[in-house]
Amino acid sequence: MKLKGKYVLVTGAGGFIGSHLVEALVKREAKVKAFVHYNSRNDWGMLEFVDRHIQSQLEVLTGDVRDSDCIRASVSDCDAVFHLAALIGIPYSYVNPRDVVDTNLVGTLNVLQAARDFETEKVIHLSTSEVYGTAEYVPMDEKHPLYPQSPYAATKVAADQLALSFYRSFDLPVAIARPFNVYGPRQSARAIVPTIISQALEKKSVRIGSIYTTRDLTYVADTVEGLLRICESDQTKGEITNLGSGFEISIEELIELVARCLNKSIRAISESKRKRPKTSEVERLCSDSKKAQKVLGWVPQVTLEEGLALTISWIEKHQGLYKGELYNV
């Protein structure tokens, strides 16, 4: 399906990836409904930082994905749904696993049921590389075993499988997008890249958890382009598609790279309170995205150095959003 002129719902539109996706959809001339989590401040999350011209073309809906009536009303007249709404903090999932289960699993069920009832043309469900756990082999393709090592990852495995079951049981046109470690402007301090940058801008040291784990970092614009192509392709229904760079970097190396970008010396301080429980730590992630390249013609365009420069520039301008001295659960 081509997105131009289509009515498209984005759940989690107030989040980091969601806000960038909404921008891209408007530029593709889709008619966008942006679903954000209700709050009494009428705060649209990261959509607040989207250009006013883009904002003026959105229909912003407020609610909660756990509310089935609210979701049904939002999905009812949409041609496509990008389901991004989720509680994504891994440390938070250790503290409040029930909240994470309710949002990530029940919320997904509500979206799937509504899409089935209203015969939505395409549902793109956002997964995560965390479902794979520590790499058993690299690069990690879509056939890599699933081994969730946190309550968050477990909810995403369950949500992914629920989505696929709706494809198999009811022929709901669902596609699973599985991004690796997305980074870029507007990302919260619970993620590793802004955690490092926000501290490094203010001090000569950064406090983090493990420094030896490796991650596959993909710039947000590349990830969003992958999501759009997954939606528009007729070959992605019932399929899982990795979206990653295929390049892994350790957290220690990442800190060194940020330091070079800032032209300063940065010391890494590993704190036990920031580390995951030993058997919950994902030691290594590295994507095999050959499927995305073959089926979608998708290849990341932004280098890590270019992406970090763009991210540093944004965080510098919005340093007040980050509390570098605090551990963001």
User: For strand 181-183 and strand 248-250, is the pairing parallel, antiparallel, or unpaired?
Assistant: unpaired
CB of 6 closer than 8 Å to CB of 30:
yes
For 315, other C-beta atoms within 10 Å of its C-beta total 22
User: For strand 181-183 and strand 205-208, is the pairing parallel, antiparallel, or unpaired?
Assistant: unpaired
CB of 18 closer than 8 Å to CB of 33:
no
Supply φ then ψ for residue 265, to 5 degrees. Answer: -90, 130
Given the residues 92, 132, 152, 167, select the one marked as catalytic: 152
Active site residue 152: yes
Helix 251-262, helix 192-202: angle, nearest 10: 40
CB of 158 closer than 8 Å to CB of 107:
no
Which residues, including other chains, have CB under 8 Å from residue 321's CB and lie 6 or more apart?
189
Which residues, including other chains, have CB under 8 Å from residue 223's CB and lie 6 or more apart?
17, 179, 182, 243
CB of 110 closer than 8 Å to CB of 92:
no
Q: Which residues form the catalytic set?
A: 152
